[in-house]
Amino acid sequence: MSLPYPPRSAYYDGKLQSASSTSSFQTIDPATAKPLANIHTTSQSGIDAAVASAKKAFPAWSATPHIERARILQKAAAILRARNDELAKVETHDTGKAFSETSTVDVVTGADVLEYFANMVGGGGLNGETIQLRPNAWVYTTKNALGVCAGIGAWNYPIQIALWKSAPCLAAGNTMVYKPSEFTPLHSTLLAEIYAEAGVPPGVFNVVQGGGDVGAYLTKHPDVAKVSFTGQVSTGQKVAGSAAGGMKYVTMELGGKSACIILPDADIDQAVDGAMMANFFSTGQVCTNGTRVFVPQSIKAAFEKKLLDKVKHIRAGDVSDPNTNFGPLVSKPHYEKVLSYIKHGIQVDKATLLCGGPEKPAWLSSHKNKDYQNGYWVTPTIFTDCTDNMRIVQEEIFGPVMSLLSYADNDIASLIARANNTDVGLAAGVFTKNLNLAHQVIGQLEAGITWINTWGESPAEMSVGGWKLSGVGVENGRKGLEAWVKNKSTLVDMGGEVPTVFAKL
């Protein structure tokens, strides 16, 4: 059967490679459950070859003048922008996310970060410092590229994740071997070709294909100096553990169960919009989702009513239609996982179902594309009267499932304690007109990414990373570049003052 996309395999030495193993898998269109392309799993010798290609390219790339590296990466950002809609279409096929999202967020935010880091290194971002110790002695520091780095991606923002890892990595002078999620691999070799077209030399950005075993082999490869990982907490723990054995640098961008706090004086329409964004954007498949929505008792009824009105404006359906703003879940296993949480919420947690549920969405039966009935479609679901110990409140569902938790208006201290009562600490947010109170609350929340009166925006300038089990390190912003260099400090003494502990007594 001919598939919509040509087969994908590894990419290294500046070109697409032929299959290096007999094993392969298919990537599936989540809207219809139909296959999109065959993907050849990269064998261990193929991974070795990709790492060798990156190792060979490292000396010249790391020695390339910053301004020249910047120019090449800026060109890649321009190509990404020029091909935005074509790449967004691929992402929509692969992830199921509506084109209205992928064409305005996924490629754009990836290209922004590439441009940001290119400009940063072109503008002196890799300069070290000079510290004058005394008139004839000083310390100078240099920022040095790490070497071959591994990037391992999740499926929810495929090209964005690939760019958020490779942009600072390459800008800092490293080379990369990138493994996309096996559920969404289509963007990976397209990105490699765009880098090549922009002038990135062969071996600087490479791709291997496959699942957890490919990621695990890459992580423990002795020639890999750093692993930047995005995925679940449980996988991140394995990856960080394996990398620790080789004393490798790591960045871990992991899951969350973030608190979206509505304070009693909040503008209720703004707060409802925030809660909608924090739960239903990307069909709830956003790591920073604010799935625990804390609502004061005084406005709970009004908040629920407005939420129900808003949910009616979610437009699921043809993912390529620019008016659609809600797609299917990414894969069959993920669909089954989300449905099992919804059923658990009803049957075991006994939360009150405000809307949605585990049934197939009603619109599916009359949709013009009959294949959609096989897709991984769910209905936006809201539970209310939830309590802190329910499983749906404690565990990351990663789907369009909101839990409403109420609190006594005057008890902000226990509200904060409840918001922090979780092992993860990725994001949090507060809605209020009282900005003093907003800063006080934000200051006490245990999360690395926080918002006041908005939700979800993550511009290139903003460093993002989780606290607690949600991760280690940050991506983006000025600190994002530091994650891809190692420091060397040199003390120069022009007075010839060698310590004399070994002088003759």
Query: Where do contacts with ligand NAD occur on this chain (CB under 6 A)?
Result: 152-157, 179, 181-182, 211-212, 215-216, 219, 230-232, 235, 238-239, 253-256, 287, 396, 398, 426, 466, 471
Query: Least distance in Å: CB of 421 to ligand NAD?
Result: 19
Cβ-based neighbours of 253, under 8 Å, separated by 6 or more = 228, 229, 230, 231, 287, 464, 465, 466, 471, 475
Please tell me the distance from the alpha carbon of residue 335 to that of residue 378, in angstroms, as a whole number: 8
Contacts 24+ apart (CB under 8 A), 474-479: 474/251, 474/448, 475/164, 475/165, 475/168, 475/228, 475/251, 475/253, 476/113, 476/116, 476/164, 476/168, 478/120, 478/125
Contact 148, 51 (CB under 8 A): yes
Residue whose structure tokens are 């002196």: 124
Residue whose structure tokens are 């690939």: 162
Closest to ligand NAD by CB, 25 vs 138, is 25
Please tell me the distance from the alpha carbon of residue 220 to that of residue 359, in angstroms, as a whole number: 43
Closest to ligand NAD by CB, 174 vs 230, is 230
Query: Least distance in Å: CB of 123 to ligand NAD?
Result: 26
Q: Which two tokens stand for residue 451?
A: 């918002």
Query: Least distance in Å: CB of 150 to ligand NAD?
Result: 9
The β-bridge relationship of strands 137-145 and 485-493 is: antiparallel
Residue type, 183: F
Name the helix (H) or strand (E) containing 131.
strand 130-134
For the chain, how are helix, strand and coil distributed in percent, rounded to 5? 40, 20, 40
Closest to ligand NAD by CB, 181 vs 279, is 181
Q: Closest CB to ligand NAD belongs to which residue? A: 215
| Three-class secondary structure of residue 412 per DSSP | helix
Cβ-based neighbours of 309, under 8 Å, separated by 6 or more = none
The question of whether 395 is a catalytic residue gets the answer: no
Query: Least distance in Å: CB of 299 to ligand NAD?
Result: 29
Closest to ligand NAD by CB, 203 vs 471, is 471
| Three-class secondary structure of residue 231 per DSSP | coil
Query: Least distance in Å: CB of 228 to ligand NAD?
Result: 10
Please tell me the distance from the alpha carbon of residue 316 to that of residue 314, in angstroms, as a whole number: 6
Contact 419, 261 (CB under 8 A): yes
Query: Least distance in Å: CB of 398 to ligand NAD?
Result: 5
Closest to ligand NAD by CB, 262 vs 397, is 397
Query: Least distance in Å: CB of 425 to ligand NAD?
Result: 11
Cβ-based neighbours of 235, under 8 Å, separated by 6 or more = 212, 229
What DSSP assignment string belongs to 295-338?
A: EEGGGHHHHHHHHHHHHTT--BS-TTSTT--B---S-HHHHHHH
Closest to ligand NAD by CB, 189 vs 219, is 219
Closest to ligand NAD by CB, 203 vs 210, is 210
Query: Least distance in Å: CB of 94 to ligand NAD?
Result: 13
Catalytic residue (choose from 101, 182, 253, 482)? 253
Closest to ligand NAD by CB, 173 vs 215, is 215
Residues classed as catalytic: 253
